[in-house]
Amino acid sequence: MVCLLFCTMLFAHSSPVNAQQPGRVFRIGILDPSTAAGSAGLVEAFRQELNKLGWIEGRNITIEYRFAEQKLERLPDLAADLVRLKIDLIVVVGTPAGLAAKKATTSIPIVFTNTGNPVAVGLVTSLARPGGSVAGLAGLAAELNTKRLEVLKDAVPNLAGVGLLLSPPGANIAQDLQLKELKLAAVALKLKLEEIETQADAKGLESAFQSARQKQVNAIMPRSSRSFFAARKRIVELAGKYRLPAIYFQKEFVDEGGLMSYGVDYDDLFRRAAHYVDKILKGAKPADLPVEQPTKFELLINLKTAKQLGLMIPPNVLARADRVIR
């Protein structure tokens, strides 16, 4: 009887997370390669959904935020810092953050958001059965980049060359996977793809757009990345300055005055990530939670920007838009 009681207590203690413990306050870590300002809207969507599920900051959860400020090399140290705090769960944004967290711990549950191909990069074993302590939401980055290229060609008459904004070489495996798919798509669409590597700072981006002009491209497309998202205002300004039509991967670029965006509803992704957190804090194992893929996609077109660029968006493209800014 004593042995049975001891085993029961031991099992309860070793259970990864158990939200039924009365009065317990759980600690969640958020690891993001971007900036606090750049991710504010997405983090707020996540927090609001947690609130709806009954998780209130200061009452039954606390959140530790770690932003790499667009410096991917900081992610391993930031992940290690969260592990040292002995938090209960880590939410990671994007592939580099996910890989850094997975390397830092094998015991703390990890929920990823917006990871293009979590199987290919080694975050999970399969989408249906992730295995290990990692689960979350895939972002379909490679597939959506290809779709953006198609939309851009349909929207810009006589499009021949596209400048693809990339992070510096070797930045992460996710970029390599996206680039491989884009090259194949460009060949199929008979487009010349000019790779323009740049840091996502003011000096680097200005130089990148100057390079795009020298290469005589007809349009610009930044690769889906957290660093470019954080620098979206400057990228949109430069696209206007150099009079280059552009398509972006998130609607926030269009909110800043960008021409077009096509991609996942990221607010929805972050809200759905909150449900993973809820399940795990209530005792579910990440290994048993299938990886979800996006279900909501949006095409936004800013006709004000099109007019400034002297661009007439074809009616068939406008008809496909979920929202048109006039």
Round to whole Å and give the CA distance between 171 and 124.
Answer: 21
Q: Name the nearest CA neighbour of 279 among 48, 287, 66, 232.
A: 287
* pLDDT tens track for 32-46: 998 898 889 999 999
Between the alpha carbon of residue 10 and those of residues 4, 16, 124, 303, the distances in Å are 10, 12, 28, 63
* pLDDT(172) > 60: no
Q: Do residues 247 and 148 touch, judged by C-beta distance below 8 A?
A: yes
What's the pLDDT at 217? 96
285 lies in a domain?
Answer: yes
Give the side-chain half-sphere CA count within 13 A for 136.
33
Round to whole Å and give the CA distance between 299 and 287.
Answer: 34
* pLDDT tens track for 68-106: 998 889 999 999 999 999 999 999 998 889 999 999 999
Query: Does one domain contain both 102 and 250?
Result: no
Query: Does one domain contain both 104 and 251?
Result: no
Q: What is the mean pLDDT of residues 114-140?
A: 87
11 lies in a domain?
Answer: no
What's the pLDDT at 118? 87
* pLDDT(170) > 90: no
Domain that holds residue 185: 141-264+298-325
Query: Does one domain contain both 197 and 217?
Result: yes
Round to whole Å and give the CA distance between 168 and 276.
Answer: 33
Q: What is the mean pLDDT of residues 224-250?
A: 93
* Domains of the chain: total: 2
Q: Which amino acid, one-letter code, is at 304?
A: K
5 lies in a domain?
Answer: no
Residue linked to tokens 């406008």: 318
43 lies in a domain?
Answer: yes
Question: 178: domain CATH number?
Answer: 3.40.50.2300
Residues counted in the chain: 326
- When mean pLDDT is compared across 4-13, 155-164, 209-218, 261-270, the lowest value belongs to 4-13
* pLDDT(3) > 60: no
Query: Does one domain contain both 147 and 233?
Result: yes
Query: Does one domain contain both 225 and 277?
Result: no
What's the pLDDT at 19? 43
Q: What percent of the chain has pLDDT over 90?
A: 67
Confidence of residue 210 (pLDDT cuts 50, 70, 90): very high
Confidence of residue 16 (pLDDT cuts 50, 70, 90): very low
313 lies in a domain?
Answer: yes
Query: Does one domain contain both 303 and 171?
Result: yes
1 lies in a domain?
Answer: no
Q: What is the mean pLDDT of residues 317-325?
A: 95
Q: Name the nearest CA neighbour of 114 among 98, 133, 134.
A: 98
- When mean pLDDT is compared across 140-144, 173-177, 241-245, 287-291, the lowest value belongs to 173-177
What's the pLDDT at 181? 80
Query: Does one domain contain both 61 and 130?
Result: yes
Give the 3-state DSSP-derived string for the chain, with helices as H, strands as E and coil as C: CHHHHHHHHHHHHHCCCCCCCCCCCEEEEEEECCCCCCCHHHHHHHHHHHHHCCCCECCCEEEEEEECCCCHHHHHHHHHHHHHCCCCEEEEECHHHHHHHHHHCCCCCEEEEEECCCCCCCCCCCCCCCCCCEEEEECCHHHHHHHHHHHHHHHCCCCCEEEEEECCCCCCHHHHHHHHHHHHHHHHCCCEEEEEECCCCHHHHHHHHHHHHHCCCCEEEECCCHHHHHCHHHHHHHHHHCCCCEEECCHHHHHCCCCEEEEECHHHHHHHHHHHHHHHHCCCCHHHCCCECCCCEEEEEEHHHHHHCCCCCCHHHHCCCCEEEC
Query: Does one domain contain both 95 and 150?
Result: no
Q: Do residues 251 and 300 touch, judged by C-beta distance below 8 A?
A: yes
What's the pLDDT at 173? 60
* pLDDT(13) > 70: no
246 lies in a domain?
Answer: yes
Query: Does one domain contain both 134 and 151?
Result: no
Residue 272's region, left for phi above 0, alpha for psi from -120 to 50, else beta, is alpha
What's the pLDDT at 21? 57
Query: Does one domain contain both 191 and 95?
Result: no
* pLDDT tens track for 299-309: 999 999 999 99
Query: Does one domain contain both 280 and 181?
Result: no
Query: Does one domain contain both 88 and 50?
Result: yes
Confidence of residue 295 (pLDDT cuts 50, 70, 90): confident
What's the pLDDT at 4? 41
What's the pLDDT at 175? 65
4 lies in a domain?
Answer: no
- When mean pLDDT is compared across 59-63, 168-172, 298-302, the lowest value belongs to 168-172
Computed over every residue of the chain, the mean pLDDT equals 89
User: What global pTM score does this model have?
Assistant: 0.80
Q: Do residues 79 and 31 touch, judged by C-beta distance below 8 A?
A: yes
Q: Which residue has the higher pLDDT, 64 or 264?
A: 64
